[in-house]
Chains A and B, each alone.
Chain A
Amino acid sequence: MRHKKTDRSASGPAATTVVVMCLYIANSAPNSVRAIANLEAICKEHLKDNFKLEIIDVLEYPLRALADGIVVTPSLAKMSPSPAAKIIGNLSDKSSVLRALGIQG
């Protein structure tokens, strides 16, 4: 499985803040698959359509990961809104993820 850009444009009101994220994974390795599933659930519950997510497979694009300062996968990088944040691991700690994304749990 090669996840490339997965673009989910926000369809809500223009005034709504769109969270832009980048998830770095290693093909369909167990923690990567789990991280995708966890993030899917969080986005669905808390962000509805107001997020933009790019999934990068480091086995395919390792240089892209290095350029973004990513050393281990899975890792989730929040690009905007500020401040930027990074979460390492399979995203099973939901409260940490929400906090990093700036979402009130």
Chain B
Amino acid sequence: MKPDLRPPNPNPSGTNAGRRFEKVILRLVKGGPERLAIEAGEIDAIVDPESGSAILLPEAQRALIERKSRFRNLVGLASDWYWEQDENYRFVSCAGATVESSGFGDESIIGKALWELAIDNMSEADWQTHRRQLEWRTTFRDLEVRRVDRAGEVRYLSVSGEPVFDDSDQFKGYNGITRDITERRQAEAVLQEPNRFSRATLDALAPHVGVLDAAGVVLLVNKAWRVYAATHAGMGTGVIEGANYLAACDDAQGGERVDGIAIAAGIRQVIAGERMLFRYDHACDSPVGRRWFMLSATGVAGDTAARAVVSREDVTERKRGELLLALEHTVARSLADADDTTVALKAVIRAVCEAQDWDCGRYFRLHPAAGELRFEESWGVAGVAVGQFLEKSRGMVFRPGAGLAGRVFQSGQPLWVLDGTQDAGVSPTALAPETGADGAFVFPVMADDRTIGVLAFSSRTVREPDDRMLQAVRSIGSQLGRFLQRQQAADALRRSEARFRRLTELSSDWYWEQDSDFRFTRFVGCGVLGAGEVFGKTRWELPNIVLGEAEWAEHKSQLAAQWSFCDFEFAAVHPDGQLGYYCISGEPVYDEAGTFTGYCGTGLDITRRKRAEIALRESEARLRALAGLSSD
């Protein structure tokens, strides 16, 4: 029921209307106390028993009008226009000074719900949420909608409303206000543009970037940081805006504890201004293997809450590459230092195991004659299980195509099994003798594009190899293959040389070698002098050689020209004063680079033959002399 705001004139004193009003009042109020109260100015309204309505007294009416006016002014200050909706949320009224310019005035909104208007920033989900608010009869504030006005300009409107109920608490609709916030939003957009640019730039960075305040609380993180914090376990898990990164580092557990303490200390130094830059490499174990990170903390100067920018870059690929390169170098060094096949094989297998954190490795060598791979060498970490596994491997033989080793031999390609159950087409039981029921990594050992053996590693930590890993095992297989091939060739050469020497020893009295200055470096057998007497001397420096100057000159010129010489004869004075006769042959020696390194050759003691020849010549001479005498 609406109040009766009679009389029409709020200031009746001194007027006819005022006097008539007083008469009405006095007619209505007959009681003494009521009249006294009216005269004392303590009464606001009188109820007219005839009309059943309340009549406000002038003072009260003025006060209420003023109050209503003030309220409207306040609402007017806070809003651009007012609206009312019915119980179906359709606009039933809309009034305000700026309603036309808002973009709502250029179409009839009466009879339409808010979501039936041309609003372009609300999704269906947004509208569902809003409708749910309305159905729950809740007051909504600052619902921001965007629309294009008649002039084609984008307008931002903030809509607030509250439910209206009648006397019997029946829902009657919504009343509310709308403010045009276009200018504010445009100003905010201008202000936020640099922030958006910064944010977009940060989010585009691959490293995880976070900004810390003086206490280590994260003020800002980029997308990469947020993703990592949400998806990885260990230090930094869940640390985003509002969390304390230093506290998370301090609380790191297990293998990350030392790294956490070091990182927290370094960042604190940066925050305190004791250093401008802190760098730290650290590793984290994850379900997909170990990952490496390079953390950098840089100080932030200026009057801002930010004190340090922490950047954490995933350098796993680079680190793995470095480790594999180091492994290749280790293998090369091991092979260079090794003087036999066994040592080399053990060293290589151990280097690979230690670099990859694998338990053990075995080498199966191809025996061409039998056409099969046979166990040759192994290395494993200390442990009963590994020891038993390697012991069972002794005597193991694979034919081409049989087992992992046979398949690798046949294909010439690496093969891996992540654990004993994941190799397609091969049962775990069948693989167990080869893998120990763990993962396995098998790759060929190649020489001259032929597979000469297979290296097989077993471990729980075998994981899917990447391209760099496959490149590394090919390199290691090739290095080892070349070494083994050289060793085989060297063994063959040694055997050949041994046979040759045995033959030489049978056909000569001694074998000798000289350096590039023709000084004896080796002397085997029985010659002119003992070995100890000739080492370090040239042939012409030996004291007991009897040879003419012309012969020496010719021999030296042959040597200087690096010619082979054959059956060079000379005499030597024996300790008993007798002459011995010797015949030597030699040929120049060159190293792999073609550089002259000296001579080697054989010698024969021809004393008996020479003496016989001398005796024969002397006999012939005597006979000739006798014949001459007789003929004479």
Interface residues of A, Cβ cutoff 8 Å to B: 25-32, 58-63, 65-66, 70-74, 88-90, 92
Contact = CB atoms under 8 A, between A and B. Distances in A.
Nearest to B32: A88
A29 B57 CA distance: 10
Interface string B113-146: 0000000000000000000000000000000000
A96 B585 CA distance: 153
A71 B46 contact: yes
B37 A30 contact: no
Contacts of B63: 29-30
B54 A58 contact: yes
Contact of A65 (B28, B37, B47, B56): B47
A62 B29 CA distance: 15
B274 interface: no
Nearest to A61: B1
B60 interface: yes
Nearest to B45: A26
B44 A31 contact: yes
Given A59-B3, A61-B1, A72 B60 contact: no
Nearest to A91: B42
Nearest to B61: A29
A27 B46 contact: no
A46 B52 CA distance: 36
Given A62-B54, A66-B52, A89 B40 contact: yes
Contacts, number: 87
B45 A30 contact: no
Given A28-B64, A31-B60, A73 B53 contact: no
The secondary-structure label for the interface of chain B is: mixed
7 contacts: A28-B67, A58-B47, A60-B1, A71-B49, A73-B44, A73-B46, A88-B34
Interface residues of B, number: 29
Interface of B: 1, 3, 28-29, 31, 33-34, 37-38, 40-49, 52-54, 56, 59-61, 63-64, 67
Q: What are the 4 tightest A-B residue pairs by CB atom distance, in nearest-first order? A: A59-B3, A29-B60, A29-B44, A26-B45
B75 to A, nearest CB: 16
Nearest to B67: A28
B29 A26 contact: no
A37 to B, nearest CB: 13
A60 B60 contact: no
B56 A26 contact: yes
Given A25-B44, A27-B3, A62 B52 contact: yes
- B47, B52, B59 interface centre (most CB from chain A within 10 Å): B47
- A27, A31, A62, A72 interface centre (most CB from chain B within 10 Å): A72
Given A26-B60, A60-B3, A32 B53 contact: no
Contacts of B3: 26-27, 59-60
Given A59-B54, A71-B28, A89 B64 contact: no
A88 B64 contact: no
- A73, A74, A92 interface centre (most CB from chain B within 10 Å): A73
A75 B504 CA distance: 145
B49 A66 contact: yes
Nearest to B63: A30
A74 B45 CA distance: 8
A60 B41 CA distance: 22
